[in-house]
Structures are given as C-alpha cells and as structure tokens.
Chain A
Amino acid sequence: MTASGRLRKAFDEKAFIAFITGGDPDMEATRRYVKLLVDTGVDLIEIGVPFSDPIAEGPSIQASSARALQSGTTLDRLLQLVLSLRTQDLHTVPIVLMTYLNPLHHMGYDKFFQQAGASGVDGVIIPDLPFEEHGEVRDIARAAGVCLISMIAPTSRDRIREIAREAEGFIYLVSSLGVTGVRSDITTDIPAIVSQIREVTDVPVAVGFGISTPTQVAEMSTHADGVIVGSALVNIIATQDHDTDQRLTDYITEMVASLS
C-alpha cells in the first residue's frame, strides 16, 4: 500500500491523531510513548521534530522542543527511531513527521525524503512551507513515496479550494488563528471550510490546534474526519512523574471514546 493509502485508511472511521515531540524528554521515552499511543487506540501518530525557533508553536510545544533539543534529539536520530519501530513491533499505524523546513534543507531534501520513505514515514507536515512554496520539495517527496500534508487555516478563504485540490494523504485544518496550544473556544466556522474542501476533494480532513477536551473532540469529529491533539499530550508528558504514563493512557482513552 502507498503512504497515501495508509494515511487514508486511518480515516476509515473517525480518526484520533496524537502529536508528541520526538525526543521529549529523550528518545527512549518517545519509543515508549509511540507504543502507548498505538495501544491506546490512536489512529495516526504525528512526531514533532524539535526546532530551535518553532514560530507556529505556543508555549507548551516550544518548551517541549527545547527539552528535546537539550536531550540531543536530531532529525537523523528520529528517522532511525521510526525505522527501528517499523522493523521491530510497529505495526501499520501511519506515522507523519511535523518539522520546520530548515532541518530538512540542512540535511538535503533528497537525502531526507529517501531516508524518511525508507524508514516508514508516511507523510511530512511542514508548518513554514505554504502552498506557494511546495515546489521546494513536492517532486522529491513524491519520488520517495512520502505525502506532503497540506495545511488550511481560518484565513485561507479563496485559497481553500486551490490547496485542497493538490492535497494528498490528509488535510490539516488549523482550527484557530494563532499558534498551537490549548484553547477553551474554537470560533472558526469549521463546517463551512470542510464543505468548501469537499467540493474539490475527498481527501480526509483532520482538525488541529487548541483541541484538548472530550467535548471538543466530539464536536470537531462530527464536522471533520479526524482530530489532532498535541499540546494537551505534551503537557502531560512534561510532568514526568510516577503516573505520567497512566495519565496519558487515561486521557487518550477518554478522548478516543469521544470521537463521534
């Protein structure tokens, strides 16, 4: 099956997508958390590649990126981790990397996408690579069989159809203005944006940014094909005490159960 096929299959039913920062607090913990996420019923895993200056992130993921860099996490080591997860006991659950463009550019786009494809990475989300600049990596990603995930924001308006037409794997619909982080209210008209997307493509739509409660999961998953939860998980992981893993399990279990 192609990466695009694997990603779409994750949305056969409403999908719960979990984001964690790779290497926070260290690489072994990330290996453990990925397995925990899979065992808890997560449909798709998004691993954040830590960057020194994550301009699209709020305080939670900024802090977790800093912890991950502190522990020596690099793009190289994360690709090795994905490969070893794939060759050992994991599985078919799709994995996407969320990374800023500069680490990829620094490694070399050809080398990165070849290794990502070979390691079993299904897709890449690049928050500082908007539609107009996709040409930077599009062909290289395609040749390596890695999906370039497109983002659509509340401000996209006339760009929605244009972006959706080119989308592959799934569409990351940004729920709110601003940066990542827990929010009490999401005021964007998500159904209106989803219906514009639906006019041009049947690629699944996942809503992310600010989702942290079962109520939000229930509401967003009625409008879209899946929800993405990041900062709330990162906040639990940040605690690192005796019951962190248990609280992570309990929280995700409740969230997954709230999918409509």
Chain B
Amino acid sequence: MSGRFGQHGGQYVPETLMNELHNLEREYQLAQEDPDFGRELTELFNQYAGRPSPLYFARTMTQDLAGAKVYLKREDLNHTGSHKINNVLGQALLTKRMGKTRVIAETGAGQHGVATATAAALLGLECEIFMGWEDTQRQALNVYRMELLGATVHPVTSGTQTLKDAVNEAMREWTTRVQDTHYLMGSVMGPHPFPLIVRDFQAVIGREAREQVLALEPKLPHSVIACVGGGSNAIGIFHGFLDDGEVNLVGCEAAGLGVDTDRTAATIATGSLGIFHGMKSYFCQGDAGQISPVHSISAGLDYPGIGPEHAWLHDTGRATYVPITDEEAVEGFEYLSCTEGIIPAIESAHAIAYARKLVPTLPSDESVIVCLSGRGDKDVAAIARYRGQQLEES
C-alpha cells in the first residue's frame, strides 16, 4: 500500500499518531486476508444493514425527464438510513479485531455519527462523537439518536463549529487516547490508510450496482452520479465502474450560494492543492494558506476538502466534478419527493439535481445511475426553514 493517489494522499499527522497508523495498516491487511473477517462483514451487511440495496428504476422521473432511464441506488434503505453503515460496520469489526474498546468519530449531518453509535451499540464498544455546535443545532434529532444509542456527543465550539472542526477535535482526542481508541473516520479522507479502508468498505455499492444494472439493461450506464463532500458514497459507487472507460463518473459538489461567492464548499471548482487533515489534496483555502470557512445547506457536504482519490480522479480526468447550489439541491429534494415518493437526504439531492440537468440531454436507450446515498427525514425541518416555514417538532 503506497498511500498515494498520484500526488495526493500521504500521512501528514503528528508523530504521536504515526505508529498507530502503521499498526492500522498492518491490521487491515491481515483482516483482508482473513476469510472469517470477510464472512462476518458480509453477514452483517446482509442480516443487519439490509444489503444488497435495491437498484430502483425511477419510472416517473424517467418519463418526466424524457431522456435516459434513471436508476437510483437505494443506499437510503440501509439500516440507519445511509451508506455510512457500510464503512462503519467494517471499521467497527476491525476495531474489535485490534482489541480496542472505544471508537471516536466526527460527524457533519449526523449520519456517520448515528451509524457509528449504532455499530458501537451492536458490538459493545464505547463511543464518542464530535459534532460542530452549529450542526448539533441543525440536526438536533440525530444528536438525540446518538445519545439513545449510548454514545456521548461532544458539541465542538472551536473554529467554524462545523464538520472541519469536528474532524480537528476528533484528531486531537485520538492523539490523547491512541492506545485503546480507534478513530472511525467517516469518509475517504484523512491520512493513509483511511482513504483506502473506507473506499474498500464502500466499494460494495458499486459492485452491487454494476451487477444489478447489467441484469436490467443490455449495456453499462452512460453515467454514474453521486454527491461528494469527503466523497465516500461517490468513491464506493465509482469503484464498480472505474475500469469501464465508457461510463462517465460524475461527482456533485456543494456549491452553496454559488462558486462565484465565498459561501461555497465546492472544493474542485474553487479550491487548490494543499495539505490538511492528514492528506494532500484539494482544499478551499485563502491567500495565506489558511483553510477557508465553507458553506452548504447540507451539513454532510459542508467540508473544505475532498478525499485524495477524488483529487486524483479529477487530475486524470477519469471523473468529472460539478458544482450544485443550495437552491438546485433543494429543488432536487422536492422533485424526488413528489415524483417518486422518496425523500432524499439533502446531500443526495445534489446528485438528483445534476441528473435533472443531464438526463434530458441523453437518448432513451441510455441509462444513468444516481447514488441515493441517504434518506431525507433528518432534513425535513431544515428544508422547511429554507422555504420559510417554521415547523414545531415537539
């Protein structure tokens, strides 16, 4: 394992963590070679998380857009409501294998936090979640879910009080208790080997999707579309099609109020090469190399960087990254709700928004797959607020 994707990746972390990263790399390799580990994970995927997730033909959306056929990879139907559970179950099993008793994790929207708290409850691990204070307010329901599952939630009040700061705080905590604690990284980011481990556990999405689409269609899809913050659901589905050169891979970044404003989180569109959170990749940063505050309506995409493998797929041109604004994402959220009766996570709604642009330009014998990475129940109150309605939840 080189730990590099072209020029990206690496291990830019304090010395205190280096032996642990090497240990994690070794343990992960051993786990991969152990058929029992694979069997146990597959069993959890199938019996606990509800895999395989369906590839759903979106008939109304297809008719309405009058172009290519639209398929939705239904990661929203997984236990805990998003793709996050795939990675979490894998890393939680790895934690047990390493003889550790405690996991810590960052969370933005709360999906990864809820998934981590769930796996910790299942496998008997102590669990502490770091979440930006602003996000604990945006996603109060998820905070309660995590607590219900037995986790402790630490609201992070430093910096911009969002996902980036939650990662900072989780990394600080890890350096404090590295012996008994595994940092259960939620996306394909951070120092090697995390981008690799998380990608491998999420690759089940693409493996299933490729098999499923070929059972329904005479050829591979024209495009595979997914939202990208750190980029774990995107890398997971992209990996099923990476070697199929004819399949376009499209990552949808959160443009916030627009890439020509400073209220954006679109890293490929507005960022530059840098080193942060343990990796070399593209980051939104200012003139003096300070990390920029970013904005997205989606707490899960509200992050100033992108995973190193995505940065590399961008460099090589294998994948394309497009910015989607808050407004477009909210329209996608509303659109899928009323056309298909599926309320998508606001993160996934960024991918729906791009599909609405692309699909009408394609002929009817083509198909596209949209990774519906999560369900939108958690977002309903925030979208109502965005539309000027105040909901009373209690």
Which residues of A approach B to under 8 Å, CB–CB? 51-53, 55-56, 58, 62, 69, 74-76, 101-107, 127-133, 151-159, 163, 174, 177-179
Contacts and interface: CB of A to CB of B under 8 A. Distances in A.
A179 B14 CA distance: 10
A132 B11 contact: yes
24 contacts: A51-B290, A52-B291, A53-B277, A101-B12, A103-B289, A104-B289, A106-B272, A106-B288, A127-B14, A128-B12, A130-B11, A152-B15, A153-B15, A155-B15, A155-B16, A155-B17, A156-B19, A158-B19, A159-B15, A177-B16, A177-B177, A177-B178, A178-B175, A179-B176
B115 to A, nearest CB: 24
Nearest to A150: B15
A128 B275 contact: yes
B212 interface: no
Given A52-B159, A105-B274, A131 B175 contact: no
Contacts of A178: 16, 172, 175-176
Interface string B60-76: 00000000000000000
Interface majority SS on B: helix, strand, loop or mixed? Answer: mixed
Contacts of A103: 288-290
B172 A55 contact: yes
Contacts of B13: 55, 128, 130
A103 B276 CA distance: 10
Contacts of B165: 53
A52 B276 CA distance: 11
Contacts of A69: 290
B285 interface: yes
A133 B10 contact: yes
A102 B15 CA distance: 17
Given A130-B14, A159-B19, 4 more contacts: A102-B276, A131-B18, A156-B18, A178-B172
Contact of B289 (A58, A75, A156): A75
Contacts of A157: 19
Contact of B164 (A53, A106, A153, A177): A53
B361 to A, nearest CB: 39
Most chain B beta-carbon contacts within 10 A, residue among A51, A69, A155: A155
Given A76-B288, A130-B11, A177-B175, A159 B16 contact: no
